[in-house]
Structure 1
């Protein structure tokens, strides 16, 4: 495992001072599906959104692994899983691709707003008919002089109802395959662009989600992020960081859950003994530890290989698949260890199960990850 230096540890510990406030009323907010603007103000003040971005734009200039290390701390300390997800989404959806692929003008105009949290980001990829098959997207962008005209719709857009800036992927060439998609940075109040109402969902309820609609939406060509036809290059770059950032946050959540279960198992007695002395309970906790450490290692090892410029297609798929399934198994085990208390909403453990299910679906469903690994094996 990585030996973190004093500066990295100090950065993580410094931001941990905000975790209690981030966690406030997390059960109640989940029940009401409430995104807390008060908490977002605290997120802005904490500076966590600035972690991976260059100092010239107002960022902290931290490398990939340091950013992951601090986000792991966020997952461990903040019990509001939806807030955690909105944080990583705004970093990855707009900030990451904008810094890597955006023009100088786009960076200067928008990147400081994302970094400061003055603007919330979202990206729009999935469509009602396409699902995981991004090549089948129907949203089109047709060139009209110095503009593009977008028509179509997107769904499952995390942060959609609250976002100010959207990275929208649309077809600019109907028969171009992977080279026929372009990424556009679109502002919330652009004419012809409509944001649907929040959609009720199983988990991550404090991170709102919606559909998007484009009806003759006129977007300046200067809002293209990257090159025309290079949308899948942008998306591939983004998805790697999205997996690393969002799932290392899940690792932090798993760490918190493990510690709660160990504490509970040593204090809760049944038939005259702490429940942790029973093999049935102890084994569940050991499995939680194994899954936690395996997930952590896969994510950091994959990040190190990515930094070295190696091909991490299989590593990324395994890390996503393993961590999402481990997080779900860990959350179910915690409910069983806490028994009736775990089933009650006030403990926040049943909420963890609902949140964990989402990880098997977003950032490429686990079925897609299996397909990707099989393909790389030549199957």
Structure 2
């Protein structure tokens, strides 16, 4: 068992950390306060090749395997203090670029992937509905056959990149009798289609630089060429997106955990109370020791799941385990970072309070912790 990274992966990580630290961390506090999506940073990331990491080189991507993408996103999460930007990029890559690459026709890939890779297009993934969050089987958005095409009606909610997105993968019920498996179809929609809108922008506790909104479909006409994969094959498209997202979205969390650990160690060494550095107090040092343990376990789980993903193995349980452990470890690490910083940790200027706000959502998006435990239990035969 060799757990070392290749020279190419090490160089990739180093280059992204350096790029992120030098380019993406200007005015992060102000961006967070103003709920501002940094389009200039988005384009700089595209110029760096981040949006196209897993896409084929023929469409402007880098054709990286899953483990290398995990290494890249970990480096991005470490170097970039704007977790909202990291989240928007991850949602774009893992839930839009990947399923389009895996299930799209040649024409669809040629039409959308170059723009998704070069930064001119922003991707969205739309399955969550107002009355059907974790219960995808209760989907009410429908697509009804209309001549050679379809008529789409319904709405989605909590859609990352919704207010700024250009291309959306949207799931709709095309055969209610068959249910989610066999009765759901994925469609590709473009911003500006008649009847397709993204009204308003939600204000959030954290990840404020990653805009989120509803998507509304009012009798949207879609040609047959808008079907991603096959009619009735939406569950397969969704499974691809979720496997990649649950495994690799948390790679950015691992990078953030590393940064919070280093920040807490530095503070614990320089902050003095009762005549000694607070890191000498067991109450502080044990928190930091737990951070290190959780970080190493989170990294190993992420790398293992990413490796299994690129081997073409079934990773549903691995993905659930990884998503559950890393997200909950991120919240614990962020909470402990605030506690270690004491009153300063509660202040905006020290930036750990923002890390905690950003971390909370990790146990909710891409399947709540409760859903991950349900998945694990089912795989154990319960």
Which TM-score band applies after superposition, normalised by the shorter structure? over 0.9
Q: Tell whether the 8 Å contact from 1:18 to 1:42 is kept in structure 2 after alignment.
A: no
The question of whether the paired residues in 1 share the 8 Å contact of 2:169 and 2:187 is answered with: yes
Q: For 2:316 and 2:49, locate their aligned partners in 1 and report how far apart those are by CA, in whole Å.
A: 31
Classify the secondary structure of the residue corresponding to 2:299.
helix
**In 2, distance between residues paired with 1:5 and 1:321?**
28
**Is the 1:169–1:183 Cα contact (8 Å) retained in structure 2?**
yes
Q: What is aligned with 1:14?
A: 15
Q: Which runs of 5+ in 1 are unaligned?
A: none
Question: Cα RMSD (Å) of the superposition?
Answer: 1.1
The one-character-per-residue Cα deviations of 1:26-48 (angstroms, maximum 9, x if unpaired) are 11111111111221221222211
TM-score by length of 2: 0.97
User: Are the structure 2 counterparts of residues 93 and 313 from structure 1 closer, same or farther at C-alpha, using a change threshold of 3 Å?
Assistant: closer
- 1:190 deviates by 0.6
- 1:288 pairs, out of 283, 287, 291, with 291
Instruction: Tell me what 1:366 maps to.
Output: 369
Distance 2:275 2:82 in 1: 35
Pairs aligned (count): 379
Structure 2 counterparts to residues 90-239 of structure 1, below 5 A: 90-177=92-179, 178-239=181-242
Mark the runs of 5 or more structure 2 residues left unpaired by the alignment: none
Query: In the TM superposition, what is the alpha-carbon distance from 1:15 to its structure 2 partner?
Result: 2.4
1:344 corresponds to? 347
Of 62, 67, 70 in structure 2, the residue corresponding to residue 68 of structure 1 is 70
Query: Larger deviation: 313-322 or 6-15?
Result: 6-15
Q: Distance in 2 between the 1:318 and 1:19 partners?
A: 29
Q: Does structure 1 conserve the Cα–Cα contact (< 8 Å) formed by 2:70 and 2:302?
A: no
User: For the residues of structure 1 that align with 2:60 and 2:46, how far apart are their CA atoms?
Assistant: 12
Question: Does the CA contact (< 8 Å) of 2:95 and 2:244 recur in 1?
Answer: no
Structure 1 residue runs of 4 or more that deviate by more than 4 Å after TM superposition: none
Tell me the CA shift for residue 308 of structure 1. Answer: 2.5
CA distance in 2, matches of 1:83, 1:93: 15
Q: TM-score, normalised by structure 1?
A: 0.98
What whole-Å deviation, never above 9, does each CA across 1:64-99 have from its counterpart, x for those lacking one?
111110110000000000000011111122211111
Deviation at 1:289, TM superposition (A): 0.6
Would the aligned equivalents of 2:167 and 2:191 in 1 still touch at CA under 8 Å? yes
